[in-house]
Each structure stands twice: as structure tokens, then as C-alpha cells.
Structure 1
Amino acid sequence: MTTLTLDTDRSELLRCLESRDPYGFLDRAARYLDVSPADHQMRLAAVREYVRLGLGGPANELLADVNSDGDRRAESALVALRQELASVSIGRIAWSVYHHQFEANLAVMNDRGLDCGVIRDAWRRDGRRYQLFRDAAGRHHVRAHDDAWRWRWIPYFGDHPGSAERQAFPDDVQQLTPGPYLFDGVALGHLFARIHQRTLDTFHGYSCALFVIEPEPAVLALALHLHDWYALLSDERVRLFVGPEWKTQLEQAWDGDPDLPFPTRAFAMGQCRAGEHEPALVVVERAGQRRNDAVTASALELNARYDARDVAYRARRFRDALSGGGPPLRILAAVSTHTTFLQYSMRDVRDALHALGHRCEVLTESTDHAITGPLTYHHAIQSLDPDLFFVFDHVRPEFRNVLPRNLPVLTWDQDCLPQVFTRQNLDGVARHDFLVGCSRARWVEMRYDPGQYLTCAIPTRADRFAEQPLTDAERERYGCDVSYVSHASRTADEFHLEQRTLQKNPDAVRMMDAMHAILPDWPNRPHVSLGVLTAEVLGEACRRCKLEIRDPEMRNWLLEWYLWRLGDRVFRHEALRWVADWARRTGRSFRIYGNGWDRHPTLSAFAAGPVENGHELSCLNRASRINLQLMPAGMIHQRALDGLACGGFFLARSTHEGSAVTLRQLMARIDELGIRDSAALVANDDVSLRRLLTEYLGDWLRPAKHHGRDALAYLRHCAEVDHAGDVFHDLDAIQFNSADEFERRVEHFLNHDDERRDITERMRRVVLERFSYRSTVDRFLHAMADFLAAQIV
């Protein structure tokens, strides 16, 4: 609704007429004529616009107050207009036409346990105040009389569906986890319905909460007549607070559920109401302050309990629990339901801890719109009294006011998220915290304690893959020559465009464009470290853009987030193109499982839909004669380890495993020469050392290339990582790095079943012996215990 001043009213009305905007004109005209009733020219213009829209009722009401003042020409025009109006429908629709829809909506609310009586009673009492119209374009309009019995369009006269479509969303609607939002009224419901649809399942099942308050139930009844809201009202995240008790109900909802989040934005849409009410945001602030006070008091109590537990206590507690000399560890863990892989991984961690004799409780969201709140953590800590908090991909500073400062945190870093591994976050990691995972190189490069981070691969849950023969139905359903499983269906170009749109830094966008152009043609040198290759691509992009990336966080984002994932797409999709070309030419069966492949520009013909992790994936791995592993991470990755554990055979695109031999030789030479720091490494002119450095690092050691990174720390980190070639002695036989090499490998193994089975069994034995969750988690706990013990002076 637009608010006008008297000085601009008439000119604005004329502009609407000239632009042929009948809705804008009539909305303004209704208010203008209240203060300028003698402007018969504008009154007649409004009558004509109502007539064009097929709304004879409002047109007749305006025309009733017009007279000709004795002017014959004017009188003739009025007669003609009245005759025209006689053939125009009044446009009014009886509310009873939509009574069935109204009752159906109330029935849905009743099924959810919501009080429908207050809405039905209010409509019976106040419904006569409202009149419903439908214009020639099918648009609904509602008006109500005020205390002086003057009719007012509510919330305004307009194209409500069109206005809702044109309404700009809040910026955060574009994010993966938008909202929550509060609606102070829903007007006629169009914008509310659109935002509900737009915020449905935005990220792995997350749908933000939508709070609706309506002090006047009859106003909500308007929208309930006009829309079929079965799906919307069935949605538990739509929280309705209707009637005079709305404030009490709203505050009780937040007070009673510590995981029910507060809205981040509010839509003020209560123009339909007749009375005045306390602003909704005041109620939100009051409830929010109460929760904050409760969190503060609870945190003080927990800190008082844990502050008495010093480093000696923690070291002794871990030692006794792991040696059997004391009670098992009590571990609190948390994982979001809005993940895919991490939920399964947390399940396997929990089961491994239980198998080791420890107690583990896992917190997760209870609904699709809940966010596990500080008080839920506090209640769990008060009840369990944990010795350790375990979490994926997050570190202590992200749990301010959530965890006691003396409760140790064990972080399993599975994804190397750049927004987590910032200097500010890592500076907040406590000395009694511990990290495991895939980012130790960055941890060490940033000059943190190497002993506080343990490198590890993601293991497999070996006991989930009992050797049960496939049924005939399973072989029929999943059997094929070659299969591949992944949700990484977006092409490198699509990923680039998405990230380019999200990036606000113009220099970063230039760098992204340069790397996107460089990467597909960059030489693939399997004997050179993958980390070095990505750094070389970054350096070449800097040269082409004539930029120097001085911000370490931006450099990390470009390398660890953008370039790694861009390269991952190039790596996978290039190999899939080789396989697809072979399958088309030979007629062999090839299937790609996962989300989105049916929309891939060149591979959609091979799309086979998603496959569930667990038994279904195990059936697929065993029924496929050949499975593919097409990740830069190589064969020591849970996807491959799970497939091997259940007895699947794999061909894998070559990664940089060939560099492992060079690295071992290089580290042996470094130790022989007694090199202790990067400066000595760069300065040493030993011929053998220089040859091995060049073979493994290329020209990365040039100052312009390694950007101040600690080269020796990087090399020592690489040496600690398990290399597939050292673990799987059949690796060379199953790898390929070109279309021709793939065809030789795949045709050989499709024609040699016995050799394929022998390799599968040897690799499976290795997985079961070395990569179980139980042994991996036990290694985490012992490494953390050693780190805590080393801190005792």
C-alpha cells in the first residue's frame, strides 16, 4: 500500500492512468476521494477503471455521488455511463462460495491440535464486516467497513498475486539456511504462501520456522477462504498464534522449546486489522531476553563445575579410562540432521565408542526447523557430566555460551571448511582441545602445535558389510558392467558460475575466472603433490590477473574451497566422459547413481537415480562387475573403503599416489642431511635433494610460488598421511589416467573374473584390518590422552 500526500495525489493518479495501471490508480483514488470528494473528474475516472475490471458494485457507489450541476453534456455522459454500468456485474462474490475451502483448512489445523474454534467463532461474529469481490482478471479483493461505516480495501486494492511475485525476498532467502521469519499478519496470504514455498527444504531437509501472529482471528479467516492451504497448514514449521492470547502463546512456545529459534526478520502485514495491538517485535525481544538470561545463568553454573578440572585431572581421567583403571569416558557429541554423510559417520563413531566400552550421547535437531540451542546442550551436560565433547568440522569458538570452557573438545575435521579454519577461530582452540582429520598441513603452516592435530582418513564400518549373498532380485536390479555413485553432478562450469555469483570480492572473481580458464588445460603430473599443483594454478592465476593475494583467508578460500572443488569436478567429469564414450561405442552397461545426473548436459542418458547409503549401496557395489572411484582423494576415502569392505571391485582414476615414492626418498634425504627448518631446506644445494624437491614440488619452492608456506612442515605432513600405494599393493593394476588406459583396464577385468575376484579379496582384507571405525576412534582417544599427558609440567 502506498501513502500519498495531498500535494502529490492528483499527479500520481494521472501517472497511474497514463501508465495503464488500474490497480495502482484505484488504490490511490479510494484514499484521494476521501479527502477530495468534489473532484468529479477523478471520481468518473475511477468509475471507468472499476468498469474495465468488471467491478460494477464499487463503480455504482462512486457514481451515486456525482451530479451534472445542470450541464447537459455532463448529464448526457452520466446517463451513458449509468447505462453501461447496468450491464456490468457488480463483481461481488458470496463468502459461502469458499466455505468448503475454509472448513477444509480448519480441519487441517484441527488435525495438528490447533484451536480452530477461535477462528470459526470470530468469522461467525465478524464475517459480515467483510465483502469479497473478484475482478475480470480473476483477482480477489476484500473490503471492510470502518467504525464510520466507510468501506476500505484491505490491505489495499491491488493485484495481490502479482505483487507477491514481484516482492523482493530478504537477502538471506538465497542462503542455504534462511530465516526464521515472523509474519505480523498474512494479509490475503499470497506473499506468505510464496515464502513458505521458497523456504521449503533449502538444505538437506532444513526448512526454516515461519511464525504467524494474528490478534484478530476473522482477518486470518480471509486468507483461509481464498487459498487451499492443505500442504502449508500441515507443515509443522508453520506456527500459528491467533486471537487475543497470541502473546502468551508465542512466549510460551519459545519458553517451552529451547531449540525453537527466534525470527531473524519480520514481515509487517497487519494492515487488515481494525484495532491496535502490541508490536510483535516487542514480544520477540522480551522472550529472547528471558532465554538469554537463562543461558547465562546455566553457563555460569556449568563453568563453576568444570573450572575445578585442571589439566592433571583431564590427563588422569583419560589415562584411567583408556587403561581400564577407571570408569569409561562419558562423551557428548552433536551432529546436524541437515547433513548426509556426517549423520552416518556420527552413527558409526557412536557405535565404535560403545564397542570400546565408553558412553556416548548424540544431540541432533528434533524437527526440520529446530536449531539445537545452548540450553539443550546445557541440560545434556548437566545430565551426562561428559569428559569430552565430540563434533565434526567445528571448533570451540563456534560454541560460545554453549560449552564450559574447561570441557575438552575433540574435532574431527572431515571437510576442511575455510569458514571454520580461520585464524580467529583457531586462535580460540583451547590447549585441552584436540583435532583429527585432513587439515593438519594448514594447522602446522599457521604455526599451531603439531602435536595437537592427528592426520587420519575417514574409515569404514566393516561390521555393516556381513557377507550375505545377493538375491536374484538384487542382482537383476543392480547388476551392470560399470557403475559410479556420487551426488557431484554439477559440472565445473555450473559450480564456477554459482560460486562466482556468491563471491562479492571483485579481485576474487577475477582470480576465479582465471583459474576456471587455466585448470582444464593445466598439465596433469601424477608424480607431483596435488597441493603443489593447486598452488601452481593459483600462482599462474595471480600472474595473469597481475594480483598478489595477501589476505591469508582469501588465499585459503581460493585454494581449499573454490579451486579444490573446481578441480574435483574437472577430475571426475573428465573421467566420466571417457567411460561414457566407451559405453556408447561398445554397448556395455554403465550407470551413474546419485542426485542430479538426469539434468547433466552430456551424461543424463546414464542416470540411474539416487541410491541409499547402507544395504542398497552394498548391493550395488557387489552387483556391479566394476565400480569406479573418481576422486582426487584416491582410494583411501570412505566411499571406496565401504565398497571394498562389502566386496566390490574398483577401478580408480590415478591421483598423485605416484608421488609417494618420491616423497619417501625426499624425506630420507632430508633426514640424512640433518635439515631442521624450511630456510635450511631452501638453502641446501645438495644435488640429490634438489632433484627430489623439483620432482615432488616442481618450482614451488621459489618464493613467489609457495607464498611463505612452511615447506618442511608441509612435507612432513604429507609423509604422515597414509598413501594408497603403500597400503594396497594392487593399486597400480586398477588405476587409469586416460581414455585409452581406462579401456584397456576395463576390458581386461571384464574378461578376467578370477583376477578381479582375487584383487577384490586382497584389498578387502586390508580395509577390514586397517580402516575400521573402532580402531580409528580408539586411536583418536589415545592420541588425545598422550597430548593431555604431555601438558603436565
Structure 2
Amino acid sequence: EIAKSTNRVRVAHPTITGLQICYFDGVTAKDHPANLIGVKLEDSYDYFLQTRNRLPTSFVAAENTPEELSQIFKETMRKVAIEREERLHVMRQSWPCAPPTYDAQKPLRVFLAASRLTEVMQYASKNIGKAFELLGHEVAISVEDNDLESLHGTHHLKALHEFNPHIIFNINSHSMLNATVPDSVFNVNWWHDLMPDLEKGTQFEIRDRDYTYSALKQLDPFIERCGVRDIQRQGFCVDSTEFFEKSCSPREDRIVFAGSSYQGTLYDKSQNAASALLEIKEAFEAGVSLDENFLRPIAEKYKISYKYVFWDLLHFVVRDISVEWLCDASPLPVEIYGTGWQKNPKVQKFHKGYIAHGVDLASLYRTSKYALVTHPFEINSQRLAEVCASGCIPIVYDCTHSSYEPHWRDELTFYKTKAELIDCLEKQLGHPAPKIGEYFSYLNFANKIIARVRSHNKNLR
């Protein structure tokens, strides 16, 4: 009965959930729902050691069940956890097959690992994988197939070793689970965010065939602290097979924004943090350029970390206040999508709920005249690329004071104050910018990597 109710459960992510799994001591029947799984107690150790499904977290027994069964279950799960980690340690130390050979007449094999709990990175992995396939190469992506699964590192490494790739492609990681990689294999790292390894300054082992790309120049100093010297710029990309313009699609005269509120990231509740937030907000409302020269003295003045000021307060102000401006004064209908906005009384009535990245988001952009783009320090964001590729007109927060080029001055319409934002809509300024969408295609990035690999490897021409 519990399985049939298809309960959703929390799975270490604020918005993504999993289908509750009900395991029982027995054999699964054909008419059982997919989330009702029979595992005989005597087989449970082997099953849970190997399964891709999420492991059970509690033991529920009938009234007369002997207490020792509960203890057996707990001990079994403890042993499974230990054995998985021991196997992962062993698997990291070796590459159990002959390293791949290169043949100019054959496609390259590209491997990626992802998680369904990392929405943006998951789609980025799938999209760059799709681009490599369009170029004629073989691709394997190790990721959960459904909402019952939760892959362990051993699953990813098993898939990696079986595929024996020429190229390993990592997003927001220097290496896949710190695994040993043959010298002949290319290891591509594409940094999108300030991840824990970058924050801590973890020292990476740098190989001759490691290629490092950074989406944001603000990440470069952190990457350099980890020992990387050759950093190449690669901005966020757009999947042109999903985000594209349809001339036959009618566009509604509205402005949309798709993205979560940053209210939930403001974990510092001190008076100093509140004062810093107020000062940044007032400067933003006045159209001040919120660069490091402005922000670092605020961090020092209020004795809070510059990291918190830059990555949390700044992001909140630019995105959430811009959305509030829209909801307060836009002459056009406003639709806001994403999580967290239902808690903001200024935005609530414009909030349309969550929208999935991919087909649904592309359809929204294709049927809307305008979209708001609010990155606090980067013009060339993924949101901008997707909006432009879909033929929607972007209204963009002007952070050219901190963004790397191109700034697309001839293609984009910028705002820095509430008055400028509303003026753009009242005067119906701006025009579609498909050139930007084409510039940031995954296909271009994949081509760039293949060309670099072929140039590097003397056996390829």
C-alpha cells in the first residue's frame, strides 16, 4: 500500500525528490509497482552492494518480528557502506584495462559522469555529450536512469573502466573521483561554480593532458591556487537542438524570468550582515557598479567574509531586487518561474511555479517577447545564451564593469536602475540576438576540444 501511494522523499536536494522505495523480504511479482522491490534477507548484502537504487534508511517490521532481524538489517547496511568505500578506494588506484589507442580513422570515446541531483550540471553534461555525438564520436554518460536510483562512486568508476575513453569530461571537478588515469587519456575540466575544492585551495595533480576551462574570470584565481596554470575561457553554452527559434510560434507580449530566489542563501543573520546587505542594496538601486573595488571595503567595514559578500549578498541583490522591480512596475505582464519566490510577498502573485530546464524552458522563451537576465558579474551567462537562441529579447543587467568580453553592445539592451529597466519595456526597446545563441553553442565547444586533442596527439591528424 505504501509503494502504491508513490510518496516523494527528500534526497539531499532542496527541490529534487525521489520516488519512495519499499523493499521487502521476498520476490518481486510482475504486478508489483516499480518501487516495490523484493530482496530476500539472505541475499540483501550482495544486492545492496551492487544495486544502483537508493539504499534503505529504515527497517519496518510486523508486530511479531524478532528484534534480531532489525539488528541484522542494520549490520548488513553498515557492512555494505564499508565495503563500497573499500572497493572505491581500490578502484581509484588502477586502470584495469589497456589504455585506449588512437586511430585517426576511428571516433574518439568521451566519458562523462553526472548526477540527477545537480540539475544544471546534469544537463550541461548531457548537452556537451550530445554535441560530441553530433561530431561522430562515441559518448557514455554515467548518471541515474530514474528517480529510484542514486549512483555510488563505484558505479561511476565501473562505467568509466568498461568504456575505456580517450577523453574524460568533468564539470565542476578536476578529476573524476580522484581516480588514476593513464597518461594517454585526456582529462577536460570545465569550471562553472566556486566548488569546495576551489574554496579550500586543494592542490590538484596536473597532467600533460589536463585541459582546464573556466566559465567565469572570477573563478580563475581560485583555480590557480589549486596549481593550475593554463586556464582557458569557455563561457556557458546553449543546446541549439532544444533552444532555437520557431518563426511560427506566436509570442506573448510579456516578460519572463526563470531562476530561483537567492533569499535562501542568506545564512548570516547577524546585524553586520544585514547592514552590509542594506548598503549593497542602496548602491544597486542608485546604479553603482558593484565591482570588487566597491564590495571589498564593505566586507572589511562590517567584518564579514568577502566570499559571502560577493557570492551571496551580491547575487541576492541583483537577482531578487530586479525581479521585485519587474513585479512592481512592469507595463507588460510578468511571469516568474523557479523556487523560493512564493515566500516573497512582492513576487507571490506573479510566481508561476517551477519550470524544468530543457524543452519546457525553451518553449517559454520561444513564446515570450522579453526575458530578464540578471547575472551580477557576467554578461555571457547560460541564461543569456538560451534566451537569445530562442529568439526572445533579453533585458540584461549591465555588469560590463566586471564581465569578460564580448559585451555585445550592439546586440543587447541593458539596465542598471529600476527606471532604466521599466523604460526598456515601456518603449519596447531591444531586438532578438540569435548571433549570441550561435556563439555559445555546445557544438562549438566540442569542436574546440576535439581540435585541441587532435593537435596534441601526434597519432591523430
One of 48, 57, 60 as aligned partner of 1:254: 48
Distance 2:16 2:411 in 1: 40
Shift of 1:256: 4.1
Do the aligned partners of 1:534 and 1:564 also contact (CA within 8 Å) in 2?
Answer: no
Alignment match, 1:600: 344
Shift of 1:203: 4.1
| CA shift digits 1:232-273 (9 cap, x unpaired) | x9682x7665xxx52x1312322442x34667x767989964
The residue correspondences of 1:295-694 to structure 2 (distance < 5 A) are 295=88, 302=95, 305-306=98-99, 317=102, 325=104, 327-396=106-175, 399-400=177-178, 402-404=179-181, 406=183, 407-417=185-195, 419-423=196-200, 425-428=202-205, 430-437=207-214, 438=216, 440-443=219-222, 446=225, 448-451=227-230, 453-471=231-249, 475=250, 479-480=252-253, 482-491=254-263, 494-496=264-266, 499-500=267-268, 512-513=273-274, 515-522=276-283, 530-542=291-303, 558-559=306-307, 563-583=310-330, 588-655=332-399, 657=400, 659=401
Q: Which amino acid aligns with 2:299?
A: L
Normalised by the size of structure 2, how large is the TM-score?
0.80
Q: Which amino acid aligns with 2:202?
A: N
Compared CA separation, residues 593 and 284, structure 1 to 2 (3 A): closer
Q: Aligned residues: percent identity?
A: 13
Shift of 1:371: 2.9
Do the aligned partners of 1:328 and 1:359 also contact (CA within 8 Å) in 2?
Answer: yes
For 1:434, what is the secondary structure of its paired residue?
strand
Distance 1:360 1:372 in 2: 19
| CA shift digits 1:560-584 (9 cap, x unpaired) | x66323212211232233333323x
Do the aligned partners of 2:375 and 2:397 also contact (CA within 8 Å) in 1?
Answer: yes
Q: Which amino acid aligns with 1:565?
A: D
Distance 2:352 2:20 in 1: 34
Alignment match, 1:666: none
Compared CA separation, residues 328 and 534, structure 1 to 2 (3 A): farther
Shift of 1:363: 0.7
Alignment match, 2:16: 205
Alignment match, 1:778: 447
Question: Pairwise CA RMSD of aligned residues?
Answer: 4.0
Alignment match, 2:29: none
Do the aligned partners of 1:390 and 1:409 also contact (CA within 8 Å) in 2?
Answer: yes
Distance 1:465 1:256 in 2: 38
Do the aligned partners of 2:258 and 2:355 also contact (CA within 8 Å) in 1?
Answer: no
Distance 2:202 2:24 in 1: 38
Q: Which amino acid aligns with 2:256?
A: Y
Shift of 1:362: 0.6
The residue correspondences of 1:180-329 to structure 2 (distance < 5 A) are 199=10, 202-207=13-18, 236=35, 246=41, 248-257=42-51, 259-260=52-53, 273-274=65-66, 276=68, 279-288=72-81, 291=84, 295=88, 302=95, 305-306=98-99, 317=102, 325=104, 327-329=106-108
Shift of 1:348: 1.7
Distance 1:529 1:580 in 2: 23
For 2:396, what is the secondary structure of its paired residue?
strand
Compared CA separation, residues 633 and 355, structure 1 to 2 (3 A): farther
Compared CA separation, residues 255 and 279, structure 1 to 2 (3 A): closer
Q: Which amino acid aligns with 2:198?
A: F
List gaps (5 residues or longer) in structure 1: 1-104, 113-192, 216-232, 502-508, 546-554, 661-717, 751-755
Distance 1:517 1:777 in 2: 43
Normalised by the size of structure 1, how large is the TM-score?
0.49
Do the aligned partners of 1:591 and 1:607 also contact (CA within 8 Å) in 2?
Answer: yes
Compared CA separation, residues 240 and 514, structure 1 to 2 (3 A): farther
Compared CA separation, residues 739 and 367, structure 1 to 2 (3 A): closer
For 2:75, what is the secondary structure of its paired residue?
helix
Do the aligned partners of 1:395 and 1:429 also contact (CA within 8 Å) in 2?
Answer: no
| CA shift digits 1:448-479 (9 cap, x unpaired) | 3431x2122112223435543345xxx4xx61
| CA shift digits 1:147-178 (9 cap, x unpaired) | xxxxxxxxxxxxxxxxxxxxxxxxxxxxxxxx
Compared CA separation, residues 423 and 598, structure 1 to 2 (3 A): closer
Q: Which amino acid aligns with 2:435?
A: R
Compared CA separation, residues 483 and 364, structure 1 to 2 (3 A): same
Distance 2:353 2:68 in 1: 54
For 1:601, what is the secondary structure of its paired residue?
coil
Distance 2:284 2:351 in 1: 30
Q: Are residue 742 (structure 1) and residue 421 (structure 2) matched?
A: yes
Shift of 1:534: 3.3
Distance 1:623 1:275 in 2: 60
| CA shift digits 1:331-386 (9 cap, x unpaired) | 11111112322232222201211122322111101343533234433432343211
Compared CA separation, residues 203 and 272, structure 1 to 2 (3 A): farther
Do the aligned partners of 1:207 and 1:368 also contact (CA within 8 Å) in 2?
Answer: yes
| CA shift digits 1:632-676 (9 cap, x unpaired) | 245411212122122111222222x1x37xxxxxxxxxxxxxxxx
Distance 2:314 2:237 in 1: 24
For 1:500, what is the secondary structure of its paired residue?
coil
Do the aligned partners of 1:333 and 1:363 also contact (CA within 8 Å) in 2?
Answer: yes
Do the aligned partners of 1:443 and 1:450 also contact (CA within 8 Å) in 2?
Answer: no
Compared CA separation, residues 613 and 268, structure 1 to 2 (3 A): closer
For 2:422, what is the secondary structure of its paired residue?
helix
Distance 1:201 1:388 in 2: 30
For 1:421, what is the secondary structure of its paired residue?
helix
For 1:420, what is the secondary structure of its paired residue?
helix
For 1:399, what is the secondary structure of its paired residue?
coil
Across the two proteins, how many residue pairs are aligned to each other? Answer: 449
One of 752, 760, 767 as aligned partner of 2:437: 767
Distance 2:234 2:222 in 1: 14
The residue correspondences of 1:71-150 to structure 2 (distance < 5 A) are 105=1
List gaps (5 residues or longer) in structure 2: 27-31
Bigger Rg, structure 1 or 2: 1
Do the aligned partners of 2:237 and 2:385 also contact (CA within 8 Å) in 1?
Answer: yes
Distance 1:447 1:276 in 2: 50
For 1:652, what is the secondary structure of its paired residue?
strand
Distance 1:745 1:572 in 2: 17
Q: Which has the higher contact order (CA 8 A, sep 6+)?
A: 2
- Using the TM superposition, name which of 297-306 and 607-616 deviates more: 297-306
Distance 1:563 1:432 in 2: 33
Do the aligned partners of 1:331 and 1:387 also contact (CA within 8 Å) in 2?
Answer: yes
For 1:483, what is the secondary structure of its paired residue?
strand
